């Protein structure tokens, strides 16, 4: 999600931003990464670790955009249903998608332990449920069985106020963390390996082997753009739709709810449309309280901005109805999510054979940062990656130069 209001998030209030100098001269590098969010930092980390010389530029400060607005669900429960993806892509391609998400969670788990990043990482279960659309949840479970995805159908939702039976899929061994603590730890690890980082350095004109920034020229063998859609060409922009998503954080006593991920979906009645969606998780707040983080009320951005207070109020109402949560939110924020037309991001070569992008995170930006960084690192290093084809930007009509 890209920042759309000035309300601070939980992540921003609990982590001091890193300060790096502005670009003030012409430079040369092997790989230029544009964008200092989770995608950019993860890509810089992986490329530097693979032996490349990496420079990263960020127009504001590290983690000030999309990553600061996330709710940081690390899961292979996607925003688009698996049964929809199977219709579009076939079982084998969707199995590749699912495997890439599972592997991304494992990779983050290993990196957190290897780099000793203190980011409140927890392995927890996730629950996809529906109060009114049991048939859709059951259909999703059947699709997951066809794909061989580890999950279990249960008839209740842990923590939910309603006691009647629910259609619910339990996703074991999902995860969550503090988004900016993770980003800060990964940034420090990248710096220690030799990545050069410039803040307040906005990319302007981007050519095959150069990019302008702050009036200076950066020359690079490879250029990786991770700045969402702002620097993309029109072909990509028309292949994505922007939705605004809203988030609140409510203080609750520790132990009131189990640490879990929750996603409630409804049937939109049209498989080509994104169904109504709410999601929730917990985060440590203080010694006595957790923060119940609720997101959703997503709406396509169509010129007029909806009343944010109305959206935040609906999230609070949902929390009360489903989990008996009461009280005034401690945090309220919003951001925009870019959904591609087929529900998958664009990752890989784009425009030139030495240009790469990560764009259209479709609500799974943390996972796709990891997936994208691994695809791009392998490609630049000449290593075959089994995930590359399914996410390729080449599925829209264009020819790399």
293, 314, 340: which is the final residue of a domain? 340
Read off the pLDDT band of 269 (50, 70, 90). Answer: low
Q: How distant, in Å, are the alpha carbons of 68, 110, 122, 261 from that of 105?
A: 19, 9, 11, 14
Residues 270 and 331 in one domain: yes
Q: Is residue 108 in some structural domain?
A: no
Please tell me the total count of domains within the chain.
2
Going by C-beta distance under 8 Å and a sequence separation of 6 or more, which residues neighbour residue 400?
349, 350, 351, 352, 353, 355, 394
- DSSP strand E in 266-366: where? 277-284, 289-300, 331-340, 346-350, 352-359
Read off the pLDDT band of 5 (50, 70, 90). Answer: low
* CATH code of the domain covering residue 21: 3.50.50.60
Residues 288 and 164 in one domain: yes
Interval 277-299: pLDDT, tens: 899 999 999 999 999 999 998 87
Q: Is residue 256 in some structural domain?
A: yes
Residues 300 and 245 in one domain: yes
Mean pLDDT score, 49-56: 98
Half-sphere exposure of 316 (CA within 13 A, CB side): 18
Q: Is residue 111 in some structural domain?
A: no
Residue 165 has pLDDT above 80, yes or no: no
Residues 325 and 300 in one domain: yes
Mean pLDDT score, 354-366: 88
Instruction: Kindly report which listed range (127-136, 209-218, 336-345) carries the lowest average pLDDT score.
Output: 336-345
> Taking each helix axis from N to C terminus, what angle separates 38-49 and 365-380, rounded to the nearest 10 degrees?
30
Q: Is residue 118 in some structural domain?
A: no
Q: Is residue 105 in some structural domain?
A: no
* Radius of gyration for the chain, computed over Cα atoms and rounded to the nearest angstrom: 20
* pLDDT at residue 243 in the model: 79
Residues 11 and 65 in one domain: yes
Mean pLDDT score, 301-308: 70
Q: Is residue 20 in some structural domain?
A: yes
Q: Is residue 58 in some structural domain?
A: yes
* pLDDT at residue 340 in the model: 80
Read off the pLDDT band of 164 (50, 70, 90). Answer: low
* pLDDT at residue 227 in the model: 77
Interval 79-130: pLDDT, tens: 889 999 999 899 999 999 999 999 999 999 999 999 999 999 999 999 999 9
* pLDDT at residue 1 in the model: 37
Helix (H) or strand (E) holding 28: strand 27-34
Going by C-beta distance under 8 Å and a sequence separation of 6 or more, which residues neighbour residue 51?
381
**Are 173 and 108 contacting, i.e. CB atoms less than 8 angstroms apart?**
no
Q: What is the DSSP letter of 72?
A: -
**Are 187 and 18 contacting, i.e. CB atoms less than 8 angstroms apart?**
yes
Mean pLDDT score, 21-29: 96
321, 340, 359: which is the final residue of a domain? 340
Residues 324 and 184 in one domain: no
* pLDDT at residue 40 in the model: 96
Residues 262 and 167 in one domain: yes
What are residue 363's DSSP bridge partners? none
Q: What are phi and psi of 99, to 5 degrees?
A: -65, -35
Measured from the Cβ of residue 162, the count of other Cβ atoms closer than 10 Å reads: 14
* Enclosing domain of residue 319: 123-173+241-340
* pLDDT at residue 337 in the model: 80
Residues 228 and 306 in one domain: no
Interval 176-220: pLDDT, tens: 999 999 999 999 999 999 999 999 999 988 999 999 999 999 999
Residues 252 and 134 in one domain: yes
Measured from the Cβ of residue 61, the count of other Cβ atoms closer than 10 Å reads: 15
Residues 156 and 8 in one domain: no
Q: What is the DSSP letter of 209?
A: S
Burial of 62 (C-beta count, 10 Å sphere; 0-12/13-18/19+): buried
295, 324, 340: which is the final residue of a domain? 340
Read off the pLDDT band of 274 (50, 70, 90). Answer: very low
Q: What are phi and psi of 326, to 5 degrees?
A: -130, 165
Residues 143 and 159 in one domain: yes
* CATH code of the domain covering residue 331: 3.30.9.10
Q: Is residue 100 in some structural domain?
A: no
Count, residues in the chain: 401
**Are 224 and 379 contacting, i.e. CB atoms less than 8 angstroms apart?**
no
Residue 3 has pLDDT above 50, yes or no: no
Residues 276 and 383 in one domain: no
Interval 208-254: pLDDT, tens: 999 999 999 999 999 999 976 555 566 676 677 777 889 999 999 99
């Amino acid at each position: 999600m890209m920042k759309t209001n000035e309300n601070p998030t939980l992540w921003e209030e609990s982590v001091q931003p890193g300060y790096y100098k502005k670009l003030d001269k012409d430079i040369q590098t092997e790989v230029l990464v544009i964008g200092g969010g989770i995608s950019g930092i993860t890509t810089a980390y992986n490329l530097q670790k693979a032996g490349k010389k990496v420079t990263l530029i960020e127009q504001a400060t590290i983690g000030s955009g999309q990553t600061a607005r996330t709710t940081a669900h690390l899961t292979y429960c996607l925003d688009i249903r698996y049964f929809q993806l199977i219709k579009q892509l076939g079982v084998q391609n969707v199995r590749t998608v699912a495997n890439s998400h599972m592997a991304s969670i494992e990779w983050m788990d290993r990196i957190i332990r290897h780099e000793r990043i203190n980011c409140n990482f927890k392995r927890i279960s996730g629950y996809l449920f529906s109060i009114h659309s049991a048939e859709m949840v059951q259909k999703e479970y059947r699709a997951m069985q066809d794909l061989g995805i580890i999950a279990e159908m249960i008839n209740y939702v842990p923590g939910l106020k309603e006691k009647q039976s629910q259609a619910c899929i339990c996703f074991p061994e999902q995860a969550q963390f503090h988004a900016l603590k993770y980003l800060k730890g990964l940034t420090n690890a990248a710096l220690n390996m030799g990545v050069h980082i410039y803040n307040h350095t906005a990319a302007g004109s981007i050519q095959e082997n150069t990019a302008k920034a702050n009036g200076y020229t950066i020359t690079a063998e490879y250029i990786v753009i991770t700045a969402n859609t702002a620097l993309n060409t029109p072909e990509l922009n028309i292949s994505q739709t922007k939705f605004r998503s809203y988030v609140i954080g409510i203080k609750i006593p520790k132990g009131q709810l189990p640490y879990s991920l929750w996603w409630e979906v409804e049937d939109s009645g049209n498989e080509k449309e994104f169904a109504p969606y709410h999601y929730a998780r917990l985060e440590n707040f203080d010694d006595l309280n957790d923060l119940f983080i609720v997101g959703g009320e997503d709406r396509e951005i169509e010129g007029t901005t909806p009343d944010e207070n109305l959206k935040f109020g609906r999230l609070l109402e949902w929390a009360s109805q489903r989990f008996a949560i009461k009280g005034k939110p401690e945090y309220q924020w919003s951001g925009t999510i870019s959904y591609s037309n087929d529900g998958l991001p664009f990752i890989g070569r784009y425009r030139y054979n030495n240009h790469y992008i990560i764009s259209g995170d479709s609500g799974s930006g943390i996972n796709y940062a990891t997936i994208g960084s691994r695809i791009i690192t392998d490609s630049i290093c000449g290593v075959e990656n089994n995930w590359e084809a399914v996410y390729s930007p080449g599925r829209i009509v264009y020819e790399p130069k």
